[in-house]
Structure 1
Amino acid sequence: MRKRFTVFFVFILLMFSNNFSFAHSPIEQMTPKAGEVLEKAPKQIDLWFEDPVELSKGSITVSNEQNELVSVGKPETDPKDKRHASMTLLQDLPPGKYSVIIDVFSIDGHQVKENYQFNVKKTTLTQEEQLKRFKLEKSNPEDGNILLSSPEVIDLWFTDNTQVTAFGLFDDLGKTVSTANPVQDSTNKKHYTINLKKQLHKGTYSAHWYATVGDFEKNGIFYFAIQEYTPIQGSNGISKDSLFSHVGFLQFAHWFTFTGVFSLAGGLLFQLFMAKGTGDALRWRKFSYLFYGVSLLGLIIELIVFRLKTIHVPFQDFVSYQFVWVSIIQIITLSVGFWVPKITMRVSTLVFTVLLWAISGHSSMPSYGGISSMVLDAFHLLAVTVWLGGLLAMILMLPRENSIDWLRKVGGTYSKWALASILIIVITGVWMTSNYVPTYSIESFIASNWGKLIVIKIVLFIVILFIGVLQRNYLKNLTTSVLHILRQLKIEVCIGVILLIIASVLIDLSPKEAEQGIYPSSITAKGVRVAVGITPLKIGKNDMVIRFENQPEFKNVRVKLTMPPDSIIENNLFSLGNGEYRLTGNLLHAAGIVQSQIIAETSMGEEIIFPFEIRVPGVMVES
């Protein structure tokens, strides 16, 4: 059985591919913004994270161009919103470039490392600062314009004198269109002309430019169409990584802890409510020392790994992290629950140890459901305790004498508890999954390691449910031999061990890797309703569709896609009539959250802003 389990587990690991992609930061917003050039020095740093975070004295630091630390106060979270962190600057910043270095932990123990730069304006702008202000002011054809016929030339006007180093024109199939080299206007060095060598066929085109300011280079894209809008074709995919990259000492520590605590708590519940003082209690007590040692070792390793990851954090701040003090309390309650003599006290204390996981895992995160998910997780954990701990206890406590009668009586009672527990595990598991990943596609779900492991869990639980039904029938007809039922119990234990291994890895994987959606799907501002759709909603070439209701045609509509810390894409949309606007191209280039604004300009010059959040599925790799 051990060899079969090893082969099966290795097979599971080999199922997953290794495909890395750059991604967005879990920081949704910052003030000052990345790359911002400020007229005057800021008084504080404000950061808004995707999830609540734990802070210590050195979690956020600021340094100047000489890598000297700026005097700052202690970072603090907003009591009303733990996703918002702020830090006061204790000195006035002279003109120059500054770096904000972020090293925080979410409340479930995931590390967030990031850095970005901002500038305090100098009297004379440096070349780098000029580059940040530099952009394509206008073009002919205009961005988002549909022409009746092919132009003979393309014109570019920039905000400053520049040197265009490269220009490329591509059709909707991604093929290069032959053009002449950009020619600078002798009377206006901000203006360039590119002659076309042939007539353009109908469809959408993307124009890519590269220009320099001093020693620096900047690039951009604008789009236009001939006669009709057509989506730009290209490949799409979902970024992945290998499951092996998520397996280490911490995951083995989780496994030790789960195995030991579930076994101890579930075994005592079995003795108290199912065996009721019968069976080989002495043999169970001997094995309970092993379970206690394994779980204690796992919790200690978890704390050591956490401390090594936060070695720069002061100890008093370290122990204040939620994922740390929960583990410390578990060590205390585990020891109390193991050593106190009264069984009811031991049971309640060990069950409390199990329930503490509900406030330190994914379910504790507001973005994953908060209180409702924590309640579901608590029932899920209790059901696992009853099923797995009871299963081990029944095997270990089987008496040598009158084993058939004992197994028929006690096993029959356990089978009812176990069947109910497995149903609770499945129901709460599916419910929590819908909380964690409210919108997804089959592809995005299966592409994520988290989704793959969830599917395997479901399949294994179906197998366990089938075995449980068979066991109930065997127990009813049990006469002279217990070998067959014991063999099935051991198979169920092996499946349970695999499930705990999966759970040990799942706890450190992000469910958001499977999420795919646009939030909200529609929004109303100033009496105008707009809906946004993106096809396909994954990394690569995309087609964005914007539909307005209750509003005549706008003068201009553009979209701004912001991907912290420093990626901003802004383009005009193609107007297709009847309130429909579109944009095509490589709009979503990495996994994570993209903050989107649809900016509609009325005929009176008023701007109406519609904010959306786009969740691109895939792995978010640290930058």
Structure 2
Amino acid sequence: MNFVHKFFILFVTLLLTHVAFLAHHGSAHSTLEETSPSEGERLTESPTTLEFWFQDPVVLHAESIQLNSQSGTKIELEDTRIDPDDKTHIIGNLNEELLPGRYTAKISVVALDGDVLEEKLNFQVGGKAKKQPQTEFEIIQNYPEDGEITGGSPQKIELWFNQPADITAIGVFDDRQESINIKEPVMDSEDPNHVIIEFNEELPKGTYQVTWYARPVASEDVSLPDAIDVFYFAVDEFTPIQQPNEGEPVGFAWFASMGLKQTGYWFFFIGIMALFGVAFFHTVIHKEITLLKRNPLSLLLLLSVFTGMVFVLMAQKSELESLSLTQFLSLKFVWIPLVQIGLLLLGVFLPKVRLFFFAATLLLIPFITGHAPYPRYGGYFSVFMNALHLLASSIWIGGLLAILTFPKKEEMKKFLRTTLPAFSNWAFVSLMVIIVTGLYMTIKYVPSYTIESFWESEWGKAIILKMALTLAVLVIGFLQRRLIKKLTEKAFSKVLNRLRVEIIYAALLLLFASVLVVSTPGSAEQGVYPATVEKENIKVNVSFSPLKLGLNVLTMDFEGESIEDVDVTLSMPPNYQVNYKAFQVEEGVFKLTGNLLHAAGTMNMKVKAEKSSGEEVEFAFRVVIPGEMRLNE
């Protein structure tokens, strides 16, 4: 059985193993940050445009914005375009005035890595406005105050509103999230805006959470939702709120993003990189151009490229099923792969310029796959580093295949004396380039992380497995170089056996590379940026513990500065925002505790510090929470 047949059996075995463990891929993460109109907004008159801002530049297609009335009637837009001054901003012009009623805009754009991002925007035009109370219902004051550390156990909770209030529900919970026994709320007979809730027991030391629901007594509109608020206080000392019973961890797939698109990229990478690498070996290293038209290996690799392209396009068409074939083919993520197929075919039939066509095909990959094109991941320089990574990987992988399919008996001496040592040098340089460019992209994509956040993410696991395989290849390469220096025909079979092992590692490396393309680097990232800020001669160090979804402790250390109060605002696009008042645990040190980080993704944080002089200083931070299901990325 010749090597091509053995390679085909190996390839099919890896494919079947891969397909057996495929898991369903979750929906693409959202990158929508702002809209105009805003979600749920009631407009007094018809808008002239619909506008959307994304975190990164996006690609439009003919059905990117679809506007429908509440009856399902489609409203035609005059045109949809990208703002030439801001590639993250898309604008849809209305060519007619909207009648009073409710409308839904469906947004579908393509991210720079080919993922389809879909969102919805609901708004209303005109209509009879709901009757609102003369004064908006709100709380004015509460005791204990938010962020207050009381001396000893308080006897009661007091709430002051701007009008008489009905407390529909209230709960008090200790730092173990256990309920505290309280009496029924009572309205103050002398002040109907004042509500008193007494405790049935003395409170031990520690932090407490109060959650209440209320509505104005005089409200006649039963459809209005209750007002809700949460505040925290502590008795004698601040303590973190804990999660007493976390339960058993829920099982999860190692690589949930494995699917049709990822499998397509795997085939695509194997075929294109091996074709270029084999051509490079014969043209530059062995310096003898071979015929590919009837070569079984080249036909197998071309089939791999074509199969991968079909899989990827099938996955993308299913995500954009509303587009006509003409509209679909106009997307660069569709026509560029078709151009790549054409370049490969030209390379097969034009041997003198084959290497040029294969190289062009290879270098187009970073522009339509992966995360390098995103500005936040490095943009053009990361594309350049990704291209180097692909070139070096292709030279190594293609050389392995070329050697295993190459030597003719009559050319064995020449091959042993010149070609194999030359490839060994190229392979060594290629591996160094692979390691350097791989480390650069890893650090650029995930600048801050913990071992736990890295390993729990799909992206991090794929990187770790790639690193392990690369280390194994380095060890084999070191042994190969020692053997090649004193190579004899007898030792040649040992070299070939090791090359076959490297081929298996190469196929697995490309498998994990295809996982990286469809997974999210941000799922492994964990950190606060910047961790330290200095402004107006005040320096603050910020840290979250454990910086995960759910319960956290936020510490803000002003390094002994005389700070009276600290307010914290946490927000996440497009419309989530909460405010807290921090506990002062010692001079210049303030803390918050509770369910501060509600979702994986990037959260904006503003810290407003009030000095003893009454002057306020505001600090801005970006908090990245690890996790796969990211809300705004």
TM category (shorter chain) comes to 0.7 to 0.9
Is 1:308 matched up with 2:308?
no
Aligned equivalent of 2:532 = 522
Paired amino acid for 1:349: F
Paired amino acid for 2:548: K
Aligned-residue offset at 1:519: 2.0
1:511 to 503, 511, 521: 521
Paired amino acid for 1:588: L
CA deviations over 1:195-228 (Å, ceiling 9, x no partner): 2111212221111223467244554321111222
Report the 3-state secondary structure (helix = DSSP H, G, I; strand = E; otherwise coil) of the residue aligned with 2:399.
helix
Q: Which moved more, 1:504-513 or 1:324-333?
A: 324-333
Q: Is the 8 A contact 1:13 1:243 kept in 2?
A: no
Is 1:263 matched up with 2:282?
no
Aligned equivalent of 1:587 = 596
For residues 336 and 18 of structure 1, the distance between their equivalents in structure 2, rounded to whole angstroms, comes to 37
Judged with a 3 Å threshold, the aligned counterparts in structure 2 of structure 1 residues 337 and 23 are, in CA distance, closer, same or farther, namely closer
CA deviations over 1:539-574 (Å, ceiling 9, x no partner): 1211112234796434x4322212234432222222
Aligned-residue offset at 1:192: 3.6
Is 1:169 matched up with 2:172?
yes
Report the 3-state secondary structure (helix = DSSP H, G, I; strand = E; otherwise coil) of the residue aligned with 2:39.
coil
Paired amino acid for 1:180: K
Is 1:49 matched up with 2:58?
no
Q: Is the 8 A contact 2:559 2:589 kept in 1?
A: no
Aligned-residue offset at 1:233: 1.9
Judged with a 3 Å threshold, the aligned counterparts in structure 2 of structure 1 residues 139 and 526 are, in CA distance, closer, same or farther, namely same
For residues 168 and 619 of structure 2, the distance between their equivalents in structure 1, rounded to whole angstroms, comes to 36
Is 1:421 matched up with 2:440?
no
Paired amino acid for 1:330: Q
Aligned-residue offset at 1:239: 9.8
For residues 275 and 302 of structure 1, the distance between their equivalents in structure 2, rounded to whole angstroms, comes to 35
2:298 to 283, 288, 305: 288
Report the 3-state secondary structure (helix = DSSP H, G, I; strand = E; otherwise coil) of the residue aligned with 1:205.
strand
Aligned-residue offset at 1:257: 1.2
For residues 381 and 7 of structure 1, the distance between their equivalents in structure 2, rounded to whole angstroms, comes to 22
For residues 304 and 5 of structure 1, the distance between their equivalents in structure 2, rounded to whole angstroms, comes to 21
2:283 to 267, 272, 280: 272
Is 1:487 matched up with 2:497?
yes
Judged with a 3 Å threshold, the aligned counterparts in structure 2 of structure 1 residues 250 and 25 are, in CA distance, closer, same or farther, namely closer
Aligned equivalent of 1:538 = 548
Is 1:106 matched up with 2:102?
no
Aligned-residue offset at 1:313: 3.5
For residues 36 and 53 of structure 2, the distance between their equivalents in structure 1, rounded to whole angstroms, comes to 9
Judged with a 3 Å threshold, the aligned counterparts in structure 2 of structure 1 residues 17 and 110 are, in CA distance, closer, same or farther, namely closer
For residues 585 and 23 of structure 2, the distance between their equivalents in structure 1, rounded to whole angstroms, comes to 41
Judged with a 3 Å threshold, the aligned counterparts in structure 2 of structure 1 residues 322 and 614 are, in CA distance, closer, same or farther, namely farther
2:258 to 247, 250, 256: 247
For residues 480 and 182 of structure 1, the distance between their equivalents in structure 2, rounded to whole angstroms, comes to 93
The gaps in structure 1 that reach 5 residues or longer are none
Paired amino acid for 1:274: I
CA deviations over 1:361-408 (Å, ceiling 9, x no partner): 211111111122111111100001100011101111121334355234
Is 1:199 matched up with 2:208?
no
Paired amino acid for 2:477: G
2:572 to 560, 563, 580: 563
Q: Is the 8 A contact 1:444 1:516 kept in 2?
A: yes
Aligned equivalent of 1:59 = 64
Is 1:450 matched up with 2:455?
no
Judged with a 3 Å threshold, the aligned counterparts in structure 2 of structure 1 residues 594 and 564 are, in CA distance, closer, same or farther, namely same
The gaps in structure 2 that reach 5 residues or longer are 1-5, 216-220
Q: Which moved more, 1:262-271 or 1:107-116?
A: 107-116
For residues 359 and 327 of structure 1, the distance between their equivalents in structure 2, rounded to whole angstroms, comes to 11
For residues 427 and 332 of structure 2, the distance between their equivalents in structure 1, rounded to whole angstroms, comes to 32
Aligned equivalent of 1:355 = 363
Report the 3-state secondary structure (helix = DSSP H, G, I; strand = E; otherwise coil) of the residue aligned with 1:167.
strand
Q: Is the 8 A contact 2:293 2:349 kept in 1?
A: no
Q: Which moved more, 1:403-412 or 1:183-192?
A: 183-192
Judged with a 3 Å threshold, the aligned counterparts in structure 2 of structure 1 residues 441 and 26 are, in CA distance, closer, same or farther, namely same
Aligned-residue offset at 1:601: 5.2
Judged with a 3 Å threshold, the aligned counterparts in structure 2 of structure 1 residues 429 and 138 are, in CA distance, closer, same or farther, namely same
For residues 89 and 487 of structure 1, the distance between their equivalents in structure 2, rounded to whole angstroms, comes to 67
Aligned-residue offset at 1:11: 9.9
For residues 100 and 498 of structure 2, the distance between their equivalents in structure 1, rounded to whole angstroms, comes to 73
Paired amino acid for 1:253: G
Aligned equivalent of 1:182 = 185
For residues 11 and 283 of structure 2, the distance between their equivalents in structure 1, rounded to whole angstroms, comes to 34
Report the 3-state secondary structure (helix = DSSP H, G, I; strand = E; otherwise coil) of the residue aligned with 1:455.
helix
TM-score by length of 2: 0.86
For residues 544 and 106 of structure 1, the distance between their equivalents in structure 2, rounded to whole angstroms, comes to 34
Aligned equivalent of 1:469 = 478
Aligned-residue offset at 1:323: 2.6
Is 1:214 matched up with 2:222?
yes
> Matches of residues 305-384 of structure 1 in structure 2 within 5 Å?
305-313=315-323, 318-342=328-352, 345-360=353-368, 361-384=370-393
Q: Is the 8 A contact 1:167 1:181 kept in 2?
A: no
Aligned equivalent of 1:151 = 154
Report the 3-state secondary structure (helix = DSSP H, G, I; strand = E; otherwise coil) of the residue aligned with 1:245.
coil
CA deviations over 1:109-150 (Å, ceiling 9, x no partner): 122222244556766426xx98xx765453222222222232
CA deviations over 1:311-353 (Å, ceiling 9, x no partner): 22455654454433432332222222222242xx110111111
Aligned equivalent of 2:400 = 391
Q: Which moved more, 1:22-31 or 1:297-306?
A: 22-31
Report the 3-state secondary structure (helix = DSSP H, G, I; strand = E; otherwise coil) of the residue aligned with 1:410.
helix
Aligned-residue offset at 1:39: 6.6
Q: Is the 8 A contact 1:445 1:452 kept in 2?
A: yes
Report the 3-state secondary structure (helix = DSSP H, G, I; strand = E; otherwise coil) of the residue aligned with 2:483.
helix
For residues 592 and 105 of structure 2, the distance between their equivalents in structure 1, rounded to whole angstroms, comes to 34
TM-score by length of 1: 0.87
For residues 20 and 447 of structure 2, the distance between their equivalents in structure 1, rounded to whole angstroms, comes to 27
Paired amino acid for 1:101: K
Aligned-residue offset at 1:61: 3.8
Q: Is the 8 A contact 1:354 1:381 kept in 2?
A: yes
For residues 163 and 79 of structure 2, the distance between their equivalents in structure 1, rounded to whole angstroms, comes to 41
For residues 39 and 552 of structure 1, the distance between their equivalents in structure 2, rounded to whole angstroms, comes to 48
Report the 3-state secondary structure (helix = DSSP H, G, I; strand = E; otherwise coil) of the residue aligned with 1:151.
coil
CA deviations over 1:139-186 (Å, ceiling 9, x no partner): 222222222232222123456766533322111222221112334567
> Matches of residues 31-42 of structure 1 in structure 2 within 5 Å?
31-36=36-41, 42=47
For residues 620 and 502 of structure 1, the distance between their equivalents in structure 2, rounded to whole angstroms, comes to 20
Q: Is the 8 A contact 2:599 2:630 kept in 1?
A: no
Aligned-residue offset at 1:586: 0.5
Provide the identity percentage.
35
Q: Is the 8 A contact 2:601 2:631 kept in 1?
A: no
Aligned equivalent of 1:84 = 89
Aligned-residue offset at 1:450: 0.8
For residues 248 and 534 of structure 1, the distance between their equivalents in structure 2, rounded to whole angstroms, comes to 35
Report the 3-state secondary structure (helix = DSSP H, G, I; strand = E; otherwise coil) of the residue aligned with 2:88.
strand
Aligned equivalent of 2:607 = 598
